[in-house]
């Protein structure tokens, strides 16, 4: 259930922003607000009177959108790439806390844990990950909070990594658990997308703590919140894993 704990005005704000995201992501194929009100009998301008009804409708819309978006997702279509001159400097920091609380992970002892539907579950050190074939991308990161910025990330292909460790690539989800208790999950098609990488560098330097040291999963076909930083564990599953923002009502697929 969406946002039950939120006070009414906050709820309305969130409802508006969720509807905006839904609209933007679903490329105008969703119903207009007016049509939705007619269909559902729910007046979105006064959802504060009936927050639970609005919650239910939004949750249903969001689930329906997940399916539609997954069906529309083209596993070979690439996100636009840019040039060095386009990189935003300084690149914005964002997390569910402030920059003074950035988690400091010890790269020397850190290992990426693997679990779920993966044959070879041995944990991976940072050096092992860096020894895999590396590639760079200059892509746009889009945050639901209303900003976007072009950055440069380098690392190894997540799809190649999943195949290497014997992940069941017919499974539905790849989930990520982070050092700061953040978590998120993506559809397998996006995990196997050629631009989805296990990023260990930002602008050709080791990933700085604020951008997710030791690794960030960089997914240019998805919104910023689906790009987990400080990843500690990766798992493959058929059970819907949700995520930090997803569990609070953000559309799960959130990609194109
Ligand atoms: N571990 C972790 N990953 C996270 C977040 C977070 O709070 N914790 N925030 C997400 C959000 S909402 C955004 S916009 C991006 C911000 O990444 P940046 O600091 O590199 O700009 O990280 C995403 N990944
Ligand atoms: Mo974000």
Alpha carbon distance 15, 20 (integer Å)? 9
Ligand 1 pocket (Cβ < 6 Å) reads: 92-96, 143, 178, 180, 182, 210-211, 224-225, 227-230
The pLDDT assigned to 245 comes to 96
Under the banding of pLDDT at 50, 70 and 90, the label for residue 71 is confident
Dihedral angle sign, alpha carbons of residues 105, 189, 174, 253:
positive
Question: What is the pLDDT confidence band of residue 21, given thresholds at 50, 70 and 90?
Answer: low
Q: Are 231 and 177 in contact (CB under 8 A)?
A: yes
Ligand 1 pocket test: which of 88, 93, 94 has the largest number of ligand atoms within 8 Å of its C-beta? 94
pTM: 0.84
Topology (CATH level 3) of domain 84-248? Sulfite Oxidase; Chain A, domain 2 (3.90.420)
- Count of helix runs (H) and strand runs (E) in the chain: 6, 10
Please tell me the residue having the least CA distance from ligand 1 atom 12: 225
Six token digits for residue 99: 């920059």
Distant-in-sequence, close-in-space partners of 128: CB < 8 Å, separation ≥ 6: none
Q: What are the extents of the domains in the chain?
A: 9-72, 84-248
Region 216-230: mean pLDDT is 97
The band of 55, judged by pLDDT with boundaries at 50, 70 and 90, is confident
pLDDT band at residue 10 under the 50/70/90 scheme: low
CB-based contact 163:156 (threshold 8 Å):
no
**pLDDT mean across residues, the chain:** 87
């Amino acid at each position: 259930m969406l946002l039950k704990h939120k006070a009414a005005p906050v709820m309305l704000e969130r409802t508006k922003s969720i509807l905006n995201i839904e609209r933007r992501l679903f490329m105008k194929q969703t119903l207009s607000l007016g049509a939705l009100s007619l269909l559902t009998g729910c007046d979105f301008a006064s959802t504060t009177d009936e927050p639970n009804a609005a919650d239910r409708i939004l949750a249903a819309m969001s689930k329906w959108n997940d399916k539609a978006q997954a069906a529309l997702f083209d596993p070979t279509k690439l996100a636009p790439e840019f040039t060095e001159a386009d990189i935003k400097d300084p690149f914005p920091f964002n997390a569910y806390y402030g920059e003074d609380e950035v988690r400091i992970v010890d790269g020397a002892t850190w290992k990426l844990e693997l679990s779920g539907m993966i044959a070879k579950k041995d944990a991976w050190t940072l050096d092992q990950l860096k020894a895999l074939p590396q590639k760079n991308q200059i892509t746009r990161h889009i945050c639901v909070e209303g900003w976007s910025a072009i950055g440069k990330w380098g690392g190894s292909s997540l799809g190649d990594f999943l195949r290497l460790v014997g992940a069941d690539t017919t499974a539905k989800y790849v989930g990520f658990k982070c050092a700061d208790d953040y978590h998120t999950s993506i559809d397998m098609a996006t995990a196997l997308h050629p631009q989805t990488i296990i990023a260990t560098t930002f602008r050709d330097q080791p990933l700085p703590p604020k951008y997710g040291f030791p690794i960030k999963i960089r997914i240019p076909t998805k919104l910023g919140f689906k790009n987990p930083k400080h990843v500690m564990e990766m798992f493959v599953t058929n059970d819907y894993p949700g995520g930090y923002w997803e569990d609070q009502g953000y559309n799960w697929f959130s990609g194109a």
